[in-house]
Structure 1
């Protein structure tokens, strides 16, 4: 496979685990594509799909307690100061960034395939899977458009009526699933972390699904639709397409999140109809136009910077083979440029105007209880995500971070007053969608 070794990641095998899947994103919607030939899995995320609701964790006698801890620390009585902090000063850990679920595609052809490759062109934001099976060449293209706010997957084959497959949308949380012969959807409300496991500052938590509007978390609606060229569509537990020439899957998700200080149900914004409206518009526009607009939008940001260390136009082995060769002393200067460019790609894919800033896992998370809740660890990790942003001419991608800081200033003013009796604002080392600023 010939490619520019600084702009394309490619592999000769599908991903065996989530960390091997390739990321797509438009700042709001994230996807991890495994690239399976027979069985495709796509992990799905939306950047406002979090547990919880607006809550301020106040304490009694905060300033006096702080002074007591400070005096003990100045006397080098650290265990005594820590005990007071644990018992009287710290509070509930942050809420959790949650996975939406998976979109799966199961092809009807045999398991054995030849000439397999999966690739991610980070200069265009396009993921491609190609392989041969039974004398047919199959191709799948995937991307998530920022302009049209949908994920699009095109399945094609070089022979007519060669596409037979099923599609399913599987929720990661408790949700209501519905299907017709051309559409699959999930609707639900996020849970809320109500108590912690183990010691007071343990980040793992027990979640509850509220039964009243007051107690419910963020509402969400996700929908995947199939448009086919030829063939027949039917429903038999999953969406089934038979003998099509080509097919396009359109996916979107929206939530009721209406701001860090707004109740997601009582003050939530509409989310079902906006999701459907964006899908309607995308399908009316069609695959080719959406793809062209997506590439132009992505490339306008990506093409602002380039890094040439030599060796970028040769024939390259698969990316995992290049990494292995590098670890064993091989010279591949273009691999460093690819690494640099991949960092820029992740920023473009995960942080765009109007979205949330990138959390501990960007916008890609497959666990209901992720490490450190996949939150904003603002003592270093959040800042690290954005260190290179301005240096690579991506000022627009920096805006979500600046907006979060402005919101934290409002939340943090309450924390400064309640905990320290101080003016100004303060944020401790963990934050979440609800702009948590209290110590944990």
Structure 2
């Protein structure tokens, strides 16, 4: 797998307008989003013969990630890409940075992985395996049997294009956005009394990155552009309106870098002047400027890096250079939406999701991600398909941006890893923000509600300063620690043959939870343990509750009154059990499956005796934390 540094919009950074949810007395948590109305699917996109939509016919509501300040670090920048090309757009005012990627810039070069010592080492490796000398066999295999080099060569960034603008440091009305439905980033701000607008996109049809800068006052677009790179490079003028970056990829693991590359940046201005000063592109007094960025490398195949990067970059620049900006943008959007528009989810209650019009403008991206599993809603730009194997509209954007047909396998595979990790982080942060106190969510009718473990009045402050109050009636029942359990353990042991497993059963009554290694009968046990307890919630129970498992090793699942609840995140083992609870007595079961290390260390001490006993099982503390819900701004 080819990896590079991950590229992702980090979900924890500011998404103005801000929504501030806080108790009148106590904790507060800051939650951010944008929410926009979106045109519904139009009948003109349907095939009149059978009423089904044509591919790409869905007219999506805008799905926009937007921010009220420039990116302060790399993870806050917004991505654009078309498979072969990619850029991270930082959205600066005095200085704009575009980090540039081309999918074939890798360290090293074509080589043979064969290890000439491998064949001679194989008999000794086999002998040590038969003699159970596992570590010796592994060490010899590492030294002489693996290919050379044994590690994957790293993907490398091509470089940066930096745009430097003169003027004051002060600016107002800043907005930086990524429209997922069109794969276009936009930066707008007012500086020195002039409103500036920049658009950036990566065009698959024309194979260039396009930057468009306009202003509402003629002659106000002035900047200098220059390339930099962490690779070995040189810069120079490539004409009166074009600059070039030429370089070669870095060395790795004894392999010399052989992938040569070239990047070109050309300015096409309306009004004003364009010139070059060595490797610097100078634009002065223009009304509007279109900047075309083209990249090419010497990569031909995994065994051939003898291509001409200047010819590749020049060819794409020449083709794009003859087209007006409006044509470039139209071709890009049409090409992208043919892929992005193939599928859509538009729930019937989407338009009426929130009755209060203010909340339509101040919903919460991370809240929507967290609410997906319970509300079944389209996530307004971060995806409806968390309901379908974790995919999302954001991932749809990433997959199109990264994996257009006929490109190398991964421009930025790490992009998707961060999408997954970033989404998980958003959900976990919300659960942690809950912390037994307050959690915003959508109910089964698609209404925004506050879920709280304390009675009181909660205030939602909108971006325009207006507030909505939400009372949580009390008293909310206190959390209850569950310490007495019945434990039934299937003790998995090696059978009489390598393909057999024998299972012994242990049954214990626990008045407190502890790791198996600290329970004499289970000290060397591995397998599956089922913890069972009962709790009486009384005849007046009418609330929900979270089950907090505390520490648990390894994987686990929970049943309430015989019903399985949602899967549990191991790092934050908290699960909503409210829908399964009932008045009176409830049965709670926690099933824990452990690794086999504790059993193997005594079953085969020659090989595994060096392992230490691990803290398996449900260790806790386990708490049932009741909550109560109320609709935001409503009764």
Q: Deviation digits for residues 368-419 of structure 1, max 9, x if unmatched?
A: xxxxxxxxxxxxxxxxxxxxxxxxxxxxxxxxxxxxxxxxxxxxxxxxxxxx
Is 2:345 aligned against 1:345?
no
Structure 1 residue 71 displacement after superposition: 4.5
Counterpart for residue 278 of structure 1:
316
Find the aligned partners of 2:362 and 2:128 in 1 and give their Cα distance.
61
Find the aligned partners of 1:6 and 1:62 in 2 and give their Cα distance.
57
Find the aligned partners of 2:76 and 2:228 in 1 and give their Cα distance.
20
Q: Which residue of the other structure, out of 76, 79, 84, is the alignment partner of 2:135?
A: 79
Structure 1 residue 110 displacement after superposition: 1.7
From the superposition, tell whether residues 272 and 194 of structure 1 become closer, same or farther in structure 2 (CA, over 3 Å).
same
Is 2:164 aligned against 1:106?
yes
Structure 1 residue 192 displacement after superposition: 3.0
Find the aligned partners of 2:174 and 2:161 in 1 and give their Cα distance.
21
Structure 1 residue 234 displacement after superposition: 3.6
Find the aligned partners of 2:393 and 2:241 in 1 and give their Cα distance.
38
Is 2:115 aligned against 1:59?
yes
Counterpart for residue 262 of structure 2:
221
Counterpart for residue 36 of structure 2:
3
Q: Deviation digits for residues 119-158 of structure 1, max 9, x if unmatched?
A: 1111111111111122221110111110011111100011
Is contact 2:117–2:144 with CA below 8 Å preserved after alignment? Answer: no
SS class of match (2:136): helix
Is contact 1:6–1:341 with CA below 8 Å preserved after alignment? Answer: no
Find the aligned partners of 1:142 and 1:218 in 2 and give their Cα distance.
27
Is contact 1:47–1:363 with CA below 8 Å preserved after alignment? Answer: no
Which moves more between the two structures, 302-311 or 109-118?
302-311
SS class of match (2:290): strand
Alignment of 1:267-416 (within 5 A): 268-308=306-346, 311=350, 315-317=360-362, 322-323=365-366, 333-335=377-379, 338-339=382-383, 340-358=392-410, 360-362=413-415
SS class of match (1:361): helix
Is 2:258 aligned against 1:258?
no
Structure 1 residue 176 displacement after superposition: 1.6
Structure 1 residue 111 displacement after superposition: 1.8
Is 2:242 aligned against 1:183?
yes
SS class of match (1:285): coil
Is 2:212 aligned against 1:154?
yes
Find the aligned partners of 1:37 and 1:327 in 2 and give their Cα distance.
33
From the superposition, tell whether residues 37 and 316 of structure 1 become closer, same or farther in structure 2 (CA, over 3 Å).
farther
Is 2:290 aligned against 1:232?
no
Is contact 1:307–1:337 with CA below 8 Å preserved after alignment? Answer: no
Find the aligned partners of 2:396 and 2:62 in 1 and give their Cα distance.
12
Structure 1 residue 75 displacement after superposition: 4.1
Q: TM-score, normalised by structure 1?
A: 0.70
Find the aligned partners of 2:200 and 2:332 in 1 and give their Cα distance.
11
SS class of match (2:274): strand
Which moves more between the two structures, 297-306 or 109-118?
109-118
Q: Deviation digits for residues 194-240 of structure 1, max 9, x if unmatched?
A: 43xxxxxxxxxxx756xxxxxxx012111000011101224456322
From the superposition, tell whether residues 79 and 311 of structure 1 become closer, same or farther in structure 2 (CA, over 3 Å).
same
Decide which structure has greater helix share. 1
Find the aligned partners of 1:236 and 1:317 in 2 and give their Cα distance.
47
Counterpart for residue 241 of structure 1:
283
Higher relative contact order (CA 8 A, sep 6+): 1
Runs of 5+ consecutive residues of structure 1 not aligned to the other structure: 196-206, 210-216, 366-440
Structure 1 residue 322 displacement after superposition: 3.5
Counterpart for residue 154 of structure 2:
96
**RMSD between aligned residues:** 3.0
Structure 1 residue 3 displacement after superposition: 2.8
Q: Deviation digits for residues 309-336 of structure 1, max 9, x if unmatched?
A: 6647874449xx643797899x995548
Find the aligned partners of 1:302 and 1:270 in 2 and give their Cα distance.
33
Runs of 5+ consecutive residues of structure 2 not aligned to the other structure: 1-33, 38-60, 354-358, 384-391, 419-635
Structure 1 residue 291 displacement after superposition: 0.7
Q: TM-score, normalised by structure 2?
A: 0.50
From the superposition, tell whether residues 334 and 31 of structure 1 become closer, same or farther in structure 2 (CA, over 3 Å).
same
Q: Deviation digits for residues 293-313 of structure 1, max 9, x if unmatched?
A: 110000000001123466478
SS class of match (2:315): helix
Find the aligned partners of 2:211 and 2:225 in 1 and give their Cα distance.
12
